[in-house]
Amino acid sequence: MNKSVQGQVVLITGAARGIGAETARVLARRGASVSLVGMEPDLLRALAEELSAATTQKHAWFEADVTDQAAIEAAVAGTVAELGGIDAVVANAGVANNGTVAVNPADALVRTVDVNLNGVIRTVSAALPHVEQRKGYVLVVASLAAFTVLPGMAAYCASKAGAEAFANVLRLEVAHKGVRVGSAHPGWIDTDLVRDTEDDLKTFRQARNKLPGPLGSTTSVEACAEAFADGIQRRRRKVYVPRSLVWFSLLRTLTISPIGDLIIKHEAKKMVPAMEAEVRALGRSFGSATVAAGGDERVVAERAEQRKSVPTA
């Protein structure tokens, strides 16, 4: 199905930057009104002003933590009041803790699951009645991590596998109401989340570079946003970024088979102790720019400026 998003209202969580912000830009260019939901009011306000200046339609923003049901319900209610309803919701907000279960406090592991899975559930639950009224679309942002595994990503993989399962069941529950549901599975996207992890953990960067083909490659946030917007417009069941990840999804049983274990365990013998030492030395469980885990949005700008000053090859 290929429906125009012209005149539609799309609510996006995690919209202050990264995939969420860029998807908002693409959808706005295609004629949608976007509701930007996140935890960084200065960035949300600036993006809303940018979109309003560049397009003719109205946009809105709301500060909300997706793990706070009252806050996300207020954002949904505000969207309906300001923009008239909700045609599609993109449950995109996410975080990733650094390192293994052994060196992370339980609260950090739980926070990852709370944002990435419970945040999806809370967002969809709040927005679904309005999406049903317009026979709309829900896009749950899962990940490549929903069907692959890598040491240091236990909570993240668990949360994203859960997000995919939630979308798969929701799809069956609302199909008779004319609502479509998709799950998105981006690989490594050039965002603050990925860059922060690689800046913090040399071992993680090295491990990723050893992964074959699209499992180890990086996709620009612009290309990812275009794929997300296409998925929303076509109400797709699955969105893979890059598209070639579909083959790894089909082979997911091999990834977690004894054969897959043997391959990964060989690398993990050296990788895991080195990663755990890095995390202990780092002294924190999340990237410094992860606002949803206690970071500071000022760090985002500072680190962006630092990266600009580094010459590229």
**CA dist 305 → 79, 300, 302 (Å):** 33, 9, 5
Q: What is the DSSP string of 84-95?
A: S--SEEEE----
Helix boundaries (H) for 84-153: 106-113, 119-133
Cα 163 to Cα 117: distance, rounded to the nearest angstrom: 5
Which SS3 state, helix, strand or coil, does residue 23 take? helix
| Length of the chain counted residue by residue | 313
Cα 142 to Cα 129: distance, rounded to the nearest angstrom: 22
The number of angstroms, rounded, from the C-alpha of 68 to the middle of its chain's C-alpha atoms is 18
36 φ, ψ to 5°?
-95, 120
Cα 238 to Cα 236: distance, rounded to the nearest angstrom: 5
Angle at 92 between CA 88 and CA 94, to 5 degrees: 165
Cα 193 to Cα 121: distance, rounded to the nearest angstrom: 21
- Decide if 137 is catalytic: no
Pick the catalytic residue from 62, 156, 228, 248.
156
> Tokens 């946030």 correspond to what residue?
221
CB 71 within 8 A of CB 246: no
Cα 258 to Cα 254: distance, rounded to the nearest angstrom: 8
Q: What are the structure tokens assigned to 44, written together?
A: 């949300």
- Residues catalogued as catalytic: 156
